[in-house]
Amino acid sequence: MTTQEYLEALERVRIEGAARIASAETEAELTEVRNTLVGRKSGRLSHLMRELASLPESDRREAGARANSARATIEEKIGTRAMELGAKTSPQQNLDLSMPARQSWRGAKHPVTLIIEEIEGIFRDIGFTIALGPEAELEWYNFGALNFPADHPAMDMHDTLYLSDDVLLRTHTSPVQVRTLQSYPPPIRILAPGNVYRRDFFDASHAPMFSQIEGLAVDEGVSFVDLKATLSYFANRLFGKTKTRFRPSYFPFTEPSAEMDVECQLCSGRGCPGCKGTGWMEILGSGMVHPSVLESAGVDAERYTGWAFGMGPGRIAMLRYGIPNIRLLYDSDIRFLEQFAR
Ligand code: DAH
């Protein structure tokens, strides 16, 4: 073959190839066309490339460059046509099994939700049911019915978020006690979880909205013994066998009142910065329901007595999981939250 004939043959492959590529209607046809043009063994262009060696040495460089360019043109046209055909075929034929899978995340319950569920479980086991009340509450349920004196500092505008003269965002879950007592006759054993609001600054241990769990038991012949026994049982279930102690306290709606401490969970009672060296951590407020609260709700305080408690599951979650700053509970930082996936 002369150099002239060689170059003409190249040109024919290029032109005919382009036409055949353009008229391929399926990916299979295109593959067939590709084989006849640039297939390694029998492709026409591949054959011509092998023929290069038989040309006069002085022409080889130029002819080789032309052959390479013909090959590039053909490959490019095949690529373009393959894309056109691919777009016409179904997505299934287009599956790229080598593509990395899309990353997925497992949902996790918030640590405060986990604690609330755990506490609800313990009290359900001993006969308590769940009661709920409104977050936008009448002032009377939040304070008056709970025996707060009219000038009590907690009612001050600095602590309470008022929505109108007599409607506020409840500052605690205790109003659910009164609403429940109004709606159901004793015996009553309820647990009332929910959000509460205070005009606090947002610092390491205060948030303007947080959750509380209220408990209430009212029946004939209920005494402080029931309160102590039930709350001690609860603490031992929540924290594992642990020491508890009750300290006298004051709340307008209970008399007598007591706060319950558990042995510091960080130092097992030896004393550490977490418990300010006392070896104890306060987990709840409690007391015998004040007779005037029962009377406000229309319950006969001569016949019935009751005990109640309130606690902050956020605080307990911080103790339980060693969370140093309350903000972590509200920031929705996925790196923090995903540690509770299980
Ligand atoms: N309501 C109180 C608070 O928000 C907590 C509390 C204390 C609730 C004693 C009670 C109780 O039911 O008996 O600080």
Could you tell me if the CB of 309 is within 6 A of ligand 1? yes
Do 160 and 198 touch, CB atoms closer than 8 A? yes
For position 171, what pLDDT does the model report? 95
15 against 121, higher pLDDT: 121
Residue that the structure tokens 């909205």 belong to: 209
Distance, CA of 329 to chain centre: 11
Express each pLDDT in 24-34 by its tens digit.
988 888 989 89
Ligand 1 centre to CA of 286 (Å) is: 6
Residue 314 scores a pLDDT above 90: yes
pLDDT at 44 over 80: yes
- Output the pLDDT for position 265: 84
Please identify, by atom number, the ligand 1 atom nearest to the C-alpha of residue 249: 9
In the predicted model, is pLDDT for residue 324 greater than 90? no
Q: How high is the mean pLDDT of the chain? A: 91
Q: Please give the pLDDT value at position 84.
A: 85
According to CATH, the topology of domain 111-340 is BirA Bifunctional Protein; domain 2 (3.30.930)
pLDDT at position 320 is 87
pLDDT number for residue 139: 95
Assess whether the C-beta atom of 251 lies below 6 angstroms from ligand 1.
Answer: yes
Ligand 1 centre to CA of 284 (Å) is 8
In the chain, what are the domain boundaries? 3-94, 111-340
Q: Residue 132 Cα, ligand 1 centroid: separation in angstroms? A: 16
pTM assigned to the model: 0.71
Q: What integer pLDDT is reported at residue 95 of this predicted model?
A: 79
Cis peptide before 91 (omega within 30 of 0): no
Query: Residue 92 contacts by C-beta under 8 Å, 6 or more apart in sequence?
Result: none
pLDDT tens-place string over residues 167-206: 999 999 999 999 999 999 999 999 999 999 998 878 877 8
Note the pLDDT of residue 151.
81
Q: What residue's CA is closest to ligand 1, atom 6?
A: 310
As a whole number of angstroms, the distance between CA 59 and CA 56 comes to 6
Q: State percent of the chain over pLDDT 70.
A: 97
Find out whether the peptide bond into 175 is cis, omega within 30 degrees of 0. Answer: no
Site of tokens 């709840």: 284
Distance CA 162, CA 326 (A): 24
Q: Give the other-Cβ count within 10 Å of 223's Cβ.
A: 12
Q: What is the mean pLDDT of residues 115-126?
A: 98
Q: Which of 41-50, 51-60, 99-108, 308-317 has the highest mean pLDDT?
A: 308-317
pLDDT for 158 beyond 80: no
Q: Give me the mean pLDDT over the 203-218 stretch.
A: 92
Give pLDDT, residue 138: 97
> Does position 263 have pLDDT exceeding 90, yes or no?
yes
| Residue 236: other Cβ atoms inside 10 A | 15
pLDDT at 105: 77
Query: How many angstroms is it from 56 CA to the middle of ligand 1?
Result: 104
Ligand 1 mean position, distance from CA 139 (Å): 16
- b/e map of 67-92 (b: 16 or more CB within 10 Å)? beebbeebeebbeebbeebeeeeeee
**Strand partners for 195:** 211
Using a 6 Å cutoff on CB, does residue 172 contact ligand 1?
yes
